Amino acid sequence: MIHIYELRSKDSLRTLLYIGQSANPKARLYDHIKRNPLKSPHAGRFYGQDIEMVVLESYATRGEARQAETLHKVAKGLPPTERMVAQNNIRKVNKMRKQCPHCDMITNPGSLTTHIKFSHPSCLPSSL
Protein backbone atom coordinates (compact mmCIF):
# COMPACT_ATOMS: atom_id res chain seq x y z
CA MET A 1 0.00 0.00 0.00
CA ILE A 2 1.12 3.51 -0.82
CA HIS A 3 0.01 6.16 1.68
CA ILE A 4 -0.65 9.87 1.02
CA TYR A 5 0.40 12.02 3.97
CA GLU A 6 0.55 15.62 5.13
CA LEU A 7 3.32 17.07 7.26
CA ARG A 8 2.11 19.76 9.65
CA SER A 9 3.82 21.90 12.24
CA LYS A 10 3.11 20.92 15.83
CA ASP A 11 2.40 24.49 16.91
CA SER A 12 -1.12 25.74 17.63
CA LEU A 13 -1.68 26.68 13.96
CA ARG A 14 -0.89 23.20 12.57
CA THR A 15 0.48 24.81 9.39
CA LEU A 16 0.59 22.53 6.34
CA LEU A 17 4.21 22.10 5.27
CA TYR A 18 4.23 19.28 2.73
CA ILE A 19 2.13 16.57 1.09
CA GLY A 20 3.81 13.36 -0.04
CA GLN A 21 3.50 9.62 -0.52
CA SER A 22 5.28 6.64 0.96
CA ALA A 23 4.95 2.89 1.38
CA ASN A 24 6.36 3.27 4.90
CA PRO A 25 5.17 6.56 6.45
CA LYS A 26 7.00 6.02 9.75
CA ALA A 27 10.35 5.63 8.00
CA ARG A 28 9.59 8.55 5.68
CA LEU A 29 8.86 10.84 8.66
CA TYR A 30 12.22 9.79 10.11
CA ASP A 31 13.86 10.69 6.77
CA HIS A 32 12.21 14.12 6.77
CA ILE A 33 13.12 15.18 10.30
CA LYS A 34 16.05 13.07 11.56
CA ARG A 35 18.39 12.54 8.60
CA ASN A 36 20.97 15.24 8.01
CA PRO A 37 20.50 16.62 4.47
CA LEU A 38 24.26 17.11 4.13
CA LYS A 39 24.80 13.36 4.55
CA SER A 40 21.68 11.89 2.90
CA PRO A 41 20.39 13.10 -0.46
CA HIS A 42 16.58 13.31 -0.75
CA ALA A 43 16.23 13.45 3.04
CA GLY A 44 16.16 15.99 5.81
CA ARG A 45 13.96 18.60 4.20
CA PHE A 46 12.54 19.40 7.64
CA TYR A 47 15.63 18.36 9.58
CA GLY A 48 15.36 19.14 13.28
CA GLN A 49 11.84 20.61 13.07
CA ASP A 50 8.97 19.55 15.32
CA ILE A 51 6.38 18.27 12.85
CA GLU A 52 3.66 15.64 12.72
CA MET A 53 2.52 13.32 9.94
CA VAL A 54 -1.16 12.76 9.14
CA VAL A 55 -1.92 9.87 6.76
CA LEU A 56 -4.80 10.90 4.49
CA GLU A 57 -5.42 7.95 2.16
CA SER A 58 -3.93 4.66 0.99
CA TYR A 59 -3.75 3.22 -2.53
CA ALA A 60 -2.78 -0.12 -4.04
CA THR A 61 -0.55 1.30 -6.79
CA ARG A 62 1.98 4.10 -6.94
CA GLY A 63 0.23 5.56 -10.02
CA GLU A 64 -3.07 5.95 -8.16
CA ALA A 65 -1.24 7.41 -5.18
CA ARG A 66 0.60 9.89 -7.41
CA GLN A 67 -2.67 11.14 -8.90
CA ALA A 68 -4.27 11.46 -5.46
CA GLU A 69 -1.19 13.24 -4.10
CA THR A 70 -1.42 15.75 -6.94
CA LEU A 71 -5.12 16.34 -6.26
CA HIS A 72 -4.40 17.02 -2.60
CA LYS A 73 -1.53 19.37 -3.46
CA VAL A 74 -3.54 21.34 -6.02
CA ALA A 75 -6.54 21.57 -3.67
CA LYS A 76 -4.32 22.99 -0.90
CA GLY A 77 -2.45 25.43 -3.15
CA LEU A 78 0.84 23.54 -3.34
CA PRO A 79 2.66 22.88 -6.64
CA PRO A 80 1.65 19.56 -8.25
CA THR A 81 3.59 16.33 -7.84
CA GLU A 82 6.90 16.46 -9.64
CA ARG A 83 6.18 13.50 -11.92
CA MET A 84 2.80 14.84 -12.96
CA VAL A 85 3.98 18.20 -14.17
CA ALA A 86 3.73 17.05 -17.79
CA GLN A 87 0.76 18.77 -19.41
CA ASN A 88 -1.16 15.61 -20.33
CA ASN A 89 -1.06 14.39 -16.72
CA ILE A 90 -2.31 17.75 -15.43
CA ARG A 91 -5.26 17.37 -17.80
CA LYS A 92 -6.00 13.96 -16.24
CA VAL A 93 -5.98 15.49 -12.77
CA ASN A 94 -8.28 18.32 -13.83
CA LYS A 95 -10.74 15.82 -15.34
CA MET A 96 -10.91 14.08 -11.95
CA ARG A 97 -11.93 17.29 -10.18
CA LYS A 98 -15.64 17.82 -9.46
CA GLN A 99 -17.82 20.93 -9.33
CA CYS A 100 -20.24 21.59 -6.48
CA PRO A 101 -23.76 21.79 -7.95
CA HIS A 102 -24.74 24.40 -5.34
CA CYS A 103 -21.96 26.99 -5.46
CA ASP A 104 -19.78 25.98 -8.45
CA MET A 105 -16.71 25.43 -6.23
CA ILE A 106 -14.27 22.98 -7.84
CA THR A 107 -12.70 20.34 -5.62
CA ASN A 108 -11.42 16.78 -5.69
CA PRO A 109 -14.00 13.95 -5.56
CA GLY A 110 -13.43 12.95 -1.92
CA SER A 111 -13.69 16.53 -0.68
CA LEU A 112 -16.91 17.30 -2.57
CA THR A 113 -19.06 15.26 -0.18
CA THR A 114 -17.48 16.94 2.85
CA HIS A 115 -17.88 20.37 1.23
CA ILE A 116 -21.60 19.79 0.56
CA LYS A 117 -22.12 18.31 4.04
CA PHE A 118 -20.70 21.37 5.80
CA SER A 119 -21.38 24.21 3.34
CA HIS A 120 -24.82 23.18 2.10
CA PRO A 121 -26.39 21.01 4.83
CA SER A 122 -29.92 21.99 3.78
CA CYS A 123 -29.30 20.39 0.35
CA LEU A 124 -28.57 16.93 1.75
CA PRO A 125 -31.23 14.22 1.73
CA SER A 126 -32.77 13.66 5.14
CA SER A 127 -31.41 10.09 5.18
CA LEU A 128 -27.82 11.40 5.68
The amino acid at residue 44 is: G
The more confident residue out of 122 and 32 is 32
Mean pLDDT of the chain: 80
> What is the crossing angle of helices 62-75 and 87-96, to 10°?
80
The more confident residue out of 89 and 68 is 68
Q: Which among 103, 63, 101, 76 has a CA at the least distance from the CA of 8?
A: 76
Looking at residue 2, its pLDDT comes to 93
Predicted confidence band at 57 (pLDDT cuts at 50, 70, 90)? Answer: very high
Q: What is the pLDDT of residues 86-111, one digit of tens each?
A: 555 666 666 777 777 778 777 766 66
